[in-house]
Amino acid sequence: MYNIEKIDNYRWQIPTSYKPGMKVPGLIYANDSLISLILKDKAPEQVANVAFLPGIVKYSLAMPDIHWGYGFSIGGVAATDPERNGVISPGGVGYDINCGIRLLRSDLTEGDLKPRLENLINALFNNIPCGLGSSGDIKVSDREEKEIFLKGAGWAVKKGYGVKDDLEHTEDKGCMEAADPSGVSERAYERGRKQSGTLGSGNHFLEVQVVDEIYDDKIATIFGLFKGQVTVMIHSGSRGLGYQVCDDYVKGMIRCLNKYNINVPDKQLACAPINSSEGKAYLGAMRCAANYAWANRQCLMYLARMVFERVFDKSWSSLGLDLVYDVAHNIAKMERHKVNGKEKILCVHRKGATRAFPPGHPDIPEGYRDAGQPVIIPGDMGSFSYVLAGLPGAMQETFGSACHGAGRCMSRSAAIRQCRGRQIDKELFQKSGIIVRAKGRSTLAEEMPEAYKDIEQVVGVVHEAGISKRVARMKPLGVIKG
C-alpha cells in the first residue's frame, strides 16, 4: 500500500514512483505499531498528494500523530521555495489558524492543590467561556480588533491581561509581522469580536496537571519544571475568525489552480504562488488570525490566573504562575533553512505540527537558548502530556518541526457511536481520579481517550528519531472542555 518503504525503525518513505507527478518523496515518522494504524487511514494518500505542490523541497513530511485532514493530513509539514514558484496552501495551515498550546508552571505542589482541586476546576469551568460559539466578557471594538490583528498577544498585555515576560516566552513573541487586516472579510471580523478569551469546543481544553516524571534534570531546571509541580496547559486557537479566514481563501484559491497552471490531485490543496497577489493576501490575513489566536490564549491565561488567585487567595505571581512557553500549530511561516547545503528562505507549512528549534537558534528565548525550544505535546484528557526540547535533527530533517499531540485514530462520528451509553467523565474519575467538566456530552464522546493514539509511542518516535528530546511528563488532574 502506497509502495511504502521502511527506512529505519522510525521512518517510512512513500517514493515518487507511487504517483506520477510527485515532486518529492513522502516521509512518515512512525514505529511499527503506529504505522499499522496510520495505514488504515487515508492520510498517507494526502502525504503523497502534498508532494505535487509547486516548489516543494526535500519531502512531504508527516509526524507520528498523522491523521486525515483537509487537503494536508493533520501532522503534515511541507516547505516550499518562493524562488522555485513555491506556493502557499490554506489547506496546509488548516481552519483553526494558530491553534496552539501554552504551558504555565507554578510553585504549587500536588499536595497544595488536592484539597482545593474540585473547587478550582469548577471555578475554571464557570469563569472561562467554553463551548461551540461561546463568547466572553472581553469584547472589542472594530478599532481594537484591528489592533489585535497587528499586535497579537502584545495587545492583551497592553490591556493588562498579562506582563511583558509572557511575550518573551511566546513563539514569535506572540505576533507575526506583516499582518494585513485589509485582507480579512467583514464576516471574519464579526465572528472574532466576541470571542477573545474563549476556549472553544472540540479538542480545545484547559488542563490542570502535575509533573510526574523528569527525564532531563538540567533542561527541566532551565524550563522551571520539577517533579510534583502543578502545571496548567491551555489549548485553543483563533476561533470563528480563523475558520472564516481559511474558508474565504480556500474558495478563492481554487480559481488560482487554472490561473497559474497548477496541477494537484485534490482541490483541497488549492494554492497560489507565494509571491502572487493571492498568495500575499492570504498570508497577510492568516497572520492576522494567528495574532488573534495568540491574543486569545493570552486572555485565557489571564482568566486562569485570576481564578487561581481567588481559589488560593494569593496573587498569581506569588503562586509562580509563569508562562513556560506558547507554541503554534496550524501556521505557515517564512523561515531560513538549509537545502542541499544552501541557506534559503522557505514557506514552512505546519498543519497539526509544532516548531522544534534546536539549542542556539536565535528565535528561542535567550533563557532557553542553551536547552533548545520547549516542545509541548498534549495527550488526550486521560493520558500524559509531555514537554520536550528541540534538537539539531529537527533542523536537518523536518524544517525544525515535531508532532503536536497524540493524533486521532478514530473519527469523531465513530467515537460518538462507540461511546453510546457511556459516561466518560465518570469513567475518568473512577479510573484515574481526573475531574472533567464539559459543556456537552458529545464533546466528551468525541474526545474519549480511545479516540487517540498512544501518546507515549508518539512521543517516543520523535525522541528516538532525534527530532526532540524528552524533558518532562505531566499527568492530568482536572480538565475543562467545551
Q: Which residues are catalytic?
A: 404
The counts of H helices and E strands in the chain are 16, 19
Tell me the DSSP string of 213-276.
Answer: EES-HHHHHHHT--TTBEEEEEEE--HHHHHHHHHHHHHHHHHHHHHTT---S-GGG--EETTS
Instruction: Find the radius of gyration of the CA atoms of the chain.
Output: 21
Task: Please report which helix (H) or strand (E) contains residue 33, including its range.
Answer: helix 32-38
Rounded CA-CA distance 291/79 in Å is 22
Task: Indicate the pairing of strand 272-273 with strand 323-328.
Answer: unpaired
| Cβ pair 345, 334 in contact under 8 A | yes
Burial 387-399 (b: 16+ CB within 10 A, else e): bbbbbbbbbebbb
What length does the chain have?
482
Angstrom distance (rounded) from CA 292 to CA 299: 10
Sign of CA dihedral 73, 393, 4, 410: negative
The closest alpha carbon to 108, from 227, 229, 191, belongs to 229
**How far is residue 121's CA from residue 292's CA, in Å, rounded to a whole number?**
26
Host H or E run for residue 8: strand 5-8
Contact present, 266 and 164 (Cβ < 8 Å): no
Which cell numbers in the block locate residue 113? 492543590
Instruction: Determine how many CB atoms are found less than 10 A away from the CB of residue 29.
Output: 28
DSSP state, residue 175: -
